Amino acid sequence: MSRARADEEEYWHSSKFRAFTFDDEDDELSQLKESKRAVNSLRDIVDDDDDDLERVSWSGEPVGSKCRCTVCSLERFRSLQDKLVLLDEAVAGHDGNVITAVLIFLKRTLRREILFRELEVRQVALCHLIHFLRETGEQKFLLDLLRFLDRTEEVAVSIPRSLNVEKRREFLKSCIGLPFSAEDTSHIQDHYTLLERQIIIEANDRHLEMAGQSELFRKYPRKASILNMPLVTTLFYSCFYHYTEAEGTFSSPSNLKKTFKIPDKQYVLTALAARAKLRAWGDVDALFTTKNWLGYTKKKAPIGFHRVVEILQRNSAPVQVLQEYVRLVEDVETRLSLATKYKCHDVVIETYRDLKDRIQLIAYKSKVERGSAEDEKINSILNNMQIRWKN
């Protein structure tokens, strides 16, 4: 009995057989007419329920796939050829919801290898199915499809954000042993490691926040969970809430930098933004202070001091702090532009003095308050007989 049923399934789900018909008219014309009628009927069905269907624009890319379409009317399409004609008609109709409805029917009634083989030469339908699988979280089916297409490099970016953290973690773990390139394998491993790290940090910080044990969390409550955030967001979070922690802790910025091989420029940019937001000017100063083997210190910025100034200004740094870093901008024109823009008067005055540009210094005198410290400084420089002005 089971053997007979297996033979029947083979009949309907294989491309070797076609549906038998008693009609005298041409089979292909009959199939085409029937497919057109079914597609039109489906369009009527999906158009009646816009609240439950996300529309799909016709650009070749689906934008929604939450489909509850009635597919019982498609059951009469039993042979592989009939089903493929139906799919081609759906694609030709340029209605994404209808395409998705037909794909759901084919997914349910065809063997995977047959469906995958036919979709490989039907890229629009394939695109809709991949999007549908991502949206619905059918990871096993999606993984099988991408393997068949030899597109395993897409697996890591195929994880829908709707998956809960544990399912994401398990899915990433299952991808680690797949035959990716060395670069893709490293990317997936980092993704998995980051998520595990975020789970630990989130659990600890949630406890601290709820217990009220951290002054920083009380003063700056967290706006969102750190789970599933990108690496740079995680680094910013760590620099904001855990900047002073030892490298041995998972939440330490230096630990993240070392584990994920974050470039110096990216690390400095992120740390600067986080510490400036907290107005921790001492930390900002330490970030750029280096010491040579003789013990002498100097300021050094892998991102350029003009960018440091812009980030500090966006975070409302006081003029005294801004001036210190504007002075360190090497290009004279850039330094003057920034100093003028952010009213760092001392830097403008000192730069014109060093350039021995008496005319520009006199012109700038009109931009400072009469009788102010800056006004007196300009007068003192202009009256200095030892300066050999160039104009």
| 107 and 8 in a common domain | yes
H helix and E strand count, the chain: 20, 2
Q: How far apart are CA 299 and CA 158, in angstroms?
A: 44
* Backbone phi, psi, residue 92, to 5°: -65, -25
| Structure confidence at residue 317 (pLDDT) | 95
| Structure confidence at residue 144 (pLDDT) | 84
Least confident of 113-122, 137-146, 205-214, 264-273: 137-146
Question: pLDDT tier at 185 (50, 70, 90 boundaries)?
Answer: confident
> Is the pLDDT assigned to residue 64 strictly greater than 50?
no
| 32 and 131 in a common domain | yes
Q: What is the pLDDT of residues 89-134, one digit of tens each?
A: 888 888 888 888 889 989 999 999 999 999 988 888 898 898 888 7
The model's pTM is 0.62
Burial 83-96 (b: 16+ CB within 10 A, else e): bbbbbbbbbebebb
| 391 and 291 in a common domain | no
| 96 and 49 in a common domain | yes
In a domain, 134, yes or no: yes
| Structure confidence at residue 73 (pLDDT) | 61
| 285 and 146 in a common domain | no
In a domain, 299, yes or no: yes
In a domain, 210, yes or no: no
| Proportion of the chain above pLDDT 90, given as a percent | 47
| 367 and 287 in a common domain | no
Q: What is the pLDDT of residues 320-331, one digit of tens each?
A: 999 999 999 999
Identify the domain boundary among 150, 181, 203: 150
| Structure confidence at residue 94 (pLDDT) | 80
Q: What is the mean pLDDT of residues 255-275?
A: 94
Question: What region does 388 belong to: left with phi over 0, alpha with psi -120 to 50, or beta?
Answer: beta
> Is the pLDDT assigned to residue 68 strictly greater than 80?
no
Identify the domain boundary among 105, 130, 150: 150
Higher per-residue confidence, 144 vs 376? 376
Cβ within 8 Å of residue 300, ≥6 positions away: 288, 290
Distances 384 to 139, 353, 357, 387, 388 between C-alpha atoms, Å: 77, 10, 13, 6, 9
> Is the pLDDT assigned to residue 254 strictly greater than 70?
yes
Give the tokens for residue 239: 């620099």
Q: How far apart are CA 158 and CA 152, in angstroms?
A: 10
| 352 and 332 in a common domain | no
Q: How far apart are CA 85 and CA 97, in angstroms?
A: 17
Q: How far apart are CA 12 and CA 192, in angstroms?
A: 42
Q: What is the mean pLDDT of residues 208-226?
A: 90
* Backbone phi, psi, residue 273, to 5°: -60, -40
| 319 and 285 in a common domain | yes
Q: Could you tell me which residues are beta bridge partners of residue 289?
A: 299
Domain count, the chain: 3
| 304 and 368 in a common domain | no
In a domain, 196, yes or no: no
Other Cβ atoms within 10 Å of 264 Cβ, number: 10
| 377 and 310 in a common domain | no
| 376 and 336 in a common domain | no
Range of the domain at 131: 2-150
Q: Are 256 and 226 in contact (CB under 8 A)?
A: no
In a domain, 76, yes or no: yes
> Is the pLDDT assigned to residue 58 strictly greater than 50?
no
Q: Are 54 and 120 in contact (CB under 8 A)?
A: no
In a domain, 368, yes or no: yes
Q: How far apart are CA 157 and CA 187, in angstroms?
A: 10
Identify the domain boundary among 121, 150, 179: 150
> Is the pLDDT assigned to residue 272 strictly greater than 90?
yes
In a domain, 209, yes or no: no
In a domain, 230, yes or no: no
| 89 and 69 in a common domain | yes
Output the CA torsion sign for 66, 72, 76, 79: positive
| Structure confidence at residue 71 (pLDDT) | 39
Mean pLDDT, all residues of the chain: 81
